[in-house]
Amino acid sequence: MARSKLNTIASDLNSDSGNVLWSFVKGEQLEFPVVLNFIDDAAAYEYEAVLIEADNIEGQTMKPTFVKTGGIQDVLTVRLPNIMGDWNPAQPYSREDIVLYDGIYYVMGNALVRISSDTPDTDAMWTATAINIINVQFTAGLGGDWEVPPTVGAAVYGFFEIRVSELASGYFQKTWKPVRGMVELVFSPTDVVA
């Protein structure tokens, strides 16, 4: 039992590995997987991923520490795993489809549509995966409407966070915020050349 003085902190019960920094060249369109180690099945939760414009200034040499008053707020798309159930050799599978075979989840590689009798554990098109992974999508237009654009010598930033919530029920609905940090946008010549 804890008997030390209340103001003598010995352990942090809610610790994390720190904030993230995602860097993009302006105009890139990418999707990133996020593994949620505290849940088993991503389909059993609701998600929100947001990005808000930081108080960037032209030619800045340091990351901003404030949110831009009246700045742009973006809701990003979160794509959940496409779980197809148990593997079936007669079933056509597409890229990113996930199947369960012999107690292990597998994700289909870059095939457009594929039917094969090779089991996922022996077929190179399948890779072992988990179903507690979500994918956050960053679109090509991200940051295009921010007041200060990136320049050759200065990046611009926004603040990012993911919220994970239990589905609404009659019980106390838990909410987590497992990923937070900044998004950096750097200058892109192809973004300015017509």
82-130 adopts what CATH topology?
Seminal Fluid Protein  PDC-109 (Domain B) (2.10.10)
- Confidence class of residue 194 from pLDDT cuts 50, 70 and 90? confident
Per-domain residue ranges of the chain: 20-78+134-192, 82-130
Average pLDDT over residues 141-159: 96
Q: 3-state SS string over the chain?
A: CCCCCCCCCCCCCCCCCCCEEEEEECCCCEEEEEECCCCCCHHHEEEEEEEEEECCCCCCCCCCCCECCCCCEEEEEEECCEEEEECCCCCCECCCEEEEECCEEEEECCCCCECCCCCCCCCCCEEEECCCEEEEEECCCCCCCCCCCCECCECEEEEEEEEEEECCCCCCCCEEEEEEEEEEEECCHHHHCC
Note the CATH architecture for domain 20-78+134-192. Answer: Sandwich (2.60)
Express each pLDDT in 131-147 by its tens digit.
999 999 999 999 999 99
Judge if 20-78+134-192 and 82-130 fold alike in CATH terms: no
Express each pLDDT in 45-100 by its tens digit.
999 999 999 999 999 999 999 999 999 999 999 999 999 999 999 999 999 999 99
